Structure 1
Amino acid sequence: MRSGAGAEERHLSKPSAQRSCPATVTNRHSGFSLIELMVVVAIIGILSMIALPQYQKFAARAVVAGALSELAAGKAGAEALIAEGITFTVVDDPALVGLPSKGTHCEEFIAVGGGTNFTLECFLKRGGSLSLTRDSHTNMWSCLARGMDESLHPQACRRR
């Protein structure tokens, strides 16, 4: 048994491999520093300052284009009335030319006629108006936008 006890003593007297190496402590931090986060926040802020006004203008132009689309639906009805020879000065009911009383983007529709001249008008909910006017000499429709920034005018309503 003595040999077994000696082995135990030898085992206890030998320094372990873990104790023989000096303990090195490294403090490695993972993640982002405060400066890096501040740079990212600054970049996002600058991009949003540029993008937000552009998006608002895009949304406003989409509303005006939608209003023109709603108004253009009345052109076919007006042409049908003119083809039937019906003349009037004011259409009390916009449904006669195929327009609803109110639209998604238009607060009110008005149809005015005089002979074979015809004007359809949409008053936008956000302010301003769009009108489509039929010329009796050329039988062409022209568009006019009023009461809004010129950059919001649909392409068909821009002055040439």
Structure 2
Amino acid sequence: MERQQRGFTLIELMIVVAIIGILAAIAIPQYQNYVARSEVSSALATLKSLQTPAELAVQEGDTPSAASDLGLSDSAVQNGEITSVTGFDTDTPSIVFTFDDEGNFQGSTITLTRQSEDDGTGGGWRCTTNIDNEDVVPDSCDITTS
């Protein structure tokens, strides 16, 4: 009388566990990188939403001193805050986003600065950040060491 095979052998189960371990070792770092990129993109999107009202303020000669002066409520900002809206009485106004003390970029900043029309850039806005991981910083934003 032949015996029917029932269930899996120990080696088959060990192979499945090894494959799951390898997949997890690849997936977890990729997921963490994805989360970091999304945090930076969210912060940059918040700043970009202020770019048009800020440009309008420059053109009209207004001097806003807070993000709320540009139409952004504090509850609309996630994973950080707009910590500085300055220089609107000069040729180079800037808006600074600072990350919360929680998360991947504790205390790091992203800054949008309007370029002077005299320097040949035509008065466009320049993005700079002190986040030193170029894998998560968008190409449109320059990394500074300061």
With normalisation by structure 2, the TM-score equals: 0.81
**Are 1:31 and 2:7 an aligned pair?**
yes
Q: Hey, which bits of structure 1, 4+ residues long, moved more than 4 A? A: none
Determine the C-alpha separation between the residues in 2 that align with 1:51 and 1:74. Answer: 35
Mapping 1:6-155, distance limit 5 Å: 25-86=1-62, 88=63, 91=65, 93-101=66-74, 103-113=77-87, 114-125=89-100, 126=103, 127=106, 128-137=108-117, 138-155=122-139
How far the C-alpha of 1:83 sits from its partner, in A, is: 1.4
Between the two proteins, the alignment pairs up a number of residues equal to 132
Determine the C-alpha separation between the residues in 2 that align with 1:98 and 1:149. Answer: 31
Determine the C-alpha separation between the residues in 1 that align with 2:15 and 2:38. Answer: 34
CA deviation digits over 1:94-128, x for unaligned, max 9?
21122333511223432111423210110012321
Secondary structure of the residue aligned to 2:74 is: coil
CA RMSD, Structure 1 to Structure 2 (Å): 1.8
Residue ranges of structure 1 left out of the alignment (5+ in a row): 1-24
Residue ranges of structure 2 left out of the alignment (5+ in a row): none
With normalisation by structure 1, the TM-score equals: 0.74
- Higher Cα radius of gyration: 1
Identical columns (%): 33
The structure with the largest helix share of the pair is 1
